[in-house]
Amino acid sequence: MTRKMVWIILAAAMAFPMAATAQRQSAFTSFDVPGAASTTPWGINDDGAVVGMYADSSGRTHGFLLQGGTFTTIDYPGALMTGPAGINNHGDIVGAHIDAMGLPGMGLRGFLLKQGTFTDVNYPGHLNTMPMRINDNGQIVGCYHDTDFGPSMHGMMFSNGTFSALSTPASMNMGLLPGGGVTVGQYGATGGPTRGFVASADTLALFDFPFSISTNALDINPSGEVVGVYTDAAKKTHGFLLRLGDAIDTFGVNPKIGMTGPFNFATIDFPGATSTDAYGINSRGDVVGDYVDSAGKTHGYLLSRARRPGGAAYQETPGSAGKELP
């Protein structure tokens, strides 16, 4: 299939901080796996179950599930490192593990954890596979690569027992809509900046957070809200939220026409953090990610976005004035 690229036209696009409303409690909740040196959440489902990874005191990386206030460690049998990334509303979890150090491309192997049983998810004929998300239909997206994280990397999908891939090199699928027809991810041409994309039928619509030097789209919810990470000109990392709305449905039906805004970006910064990443979003608009504090430690956070009548969302931080999200 011929590769197609179009641009998301960010007509009158705006970027502004996600401010707060004083009438509600803080929407940010910081959390850590007990005893962990660092905690990084990657995915959240509609029940509020969170998956991610943490480093223990010896530096070894494990997966975790946070559900009902209880942490459960996830370790692929015999693995040196386990990194869950996505969870659907059935509780199925996908991610990657490393079994040995020094392997080409890091030796990343994919897995599906369903009802307590691990199943391998590895793209045929390639050395590394990184599943990142799974929807309620069991469709899995992520990427495969061989010895590098550039030309040999392609965004992939596993659906109904069959693998397919984006023809664009240096691409990575990071999130998908419930039907699997639209994905989001990141694209990095050799020598160029990393850009976010929305993809359908092997057509990529590329976008950048305004005035950023890199943009990574990392998840999307059914309402067309995209979360990810951007780096500003001062090389500071922030989370972002981009609301695409109904334009995502039109793009899914006819991707060749591209996408036309206006669309609104919002920056996600944990209060007092030196950097913030936004990794996952559920259908309620709740966001999970991590932040680095002034002492250099990485913590997880949940950003619960309260909603008022009419569906507009608010982010809340104590002591700030309110601002409606787009």
20 or 305: which leads in pLDDT: 305
Which pLDDT score is estimated for 4? 53
- Poorest-pLDDT segment among 1-10, 48-57, 76-85, 107-116: 1-10
Query: How is residue 95 written in tokens?
Result: 């991610």
- Poorest-pLDDT segment among 68-72, 240-244, 251-255: 251-255
Which pLDDT score is estimated for 191? 77
Percent over 70 (pLDDT), the chain: 85
User: Which residues does 81 contact at the CB level (< 8 Å), separation at least 6?
Assistant: 60, 61, 62, 97, 98
- Give SS3 for 174: strand
Place of tokens 């392609």: 154
Mean of pLDDT values over 78-97? 98
Say how far apart CA 295 and CA 91 lie, in whole Å. 34
Mean of pLDDT values over 72-95? 98
Q: How far is CA 39 from CA 45, 59, 291, in A?
A: 18, 12, 9
Which pLDDT score is estimated for 247? 82
Which pLDDT score is estimated for 315? 37
Average pLDDT, rounded, for the chain: 87
Say how far apart CA 276 and CA 238 lie, in whole Å. 5
Query: How is residue 3 written in tokens?
Result: 């590769």
Is the pLDDT at 61 greater than 80? The verdict is yes
39 or 256: which leads in pLDDT: 39
Say how far apart CA 210 and CA 14 lie, in whole Å. 8
Is the pLDDT at 144 greater than 70? The verdict is yes
In three-state form (DSSP H/G/I as H, E/B as E, the rest C), the secondary structure along 288-300 is: EEEEECCCCCEEE
Summarised one tens digit per residue, pLDDT across range 23-41 is 334 389 999 999 999 999 9
Mean of pLDDT values over 69-81? 98
Closest listed residue to residue 184, CA positions, set 153, 225, 149: 225
- Answer whether the bond into residue 262 is a cis peptide, omega within 30°: yes
Burial degree of 306 (CB within 10 A; 0-12, 13-18, 19+) = middle
Which pLDDT score is estimated for 17? 56
The beta strand positions in 170-250, using DSSP E, are 171-176, 183-188, 194-200, 203-207, 214-220, 225-231, 237-243
Which pLDDT score is estimated for 280? 98
Which pLDDT score is estimated for 5? 52
Please state whether beta strands 14-17 and 171-176 pair in parallel, antiparallel, or not at all (unpaired).
unpaired
Is the pLDDT at 116 greater than 50? The verdict is yes
Cβ atoms of 93 and 74 within 8 Å: the answer is yes
Cβ atoms of 134 and 86 within 8 Å: the answer is yes
Closest listed residue to residue 68, CA positions, set 45, 84, 86: 45
Which pLDDT score is estimated for 19? 39
pTM attached to this predicted model: 0.88
With cut-offs at 50, 70 and 90, classify the pLDDT of residue 168.
very high
CA atoms within 13 A on the CB side of 82: 21
Is the pLDDT at 96 greater than 90? The verdict is yes
Which pLDDT score is estimated for 152? 93
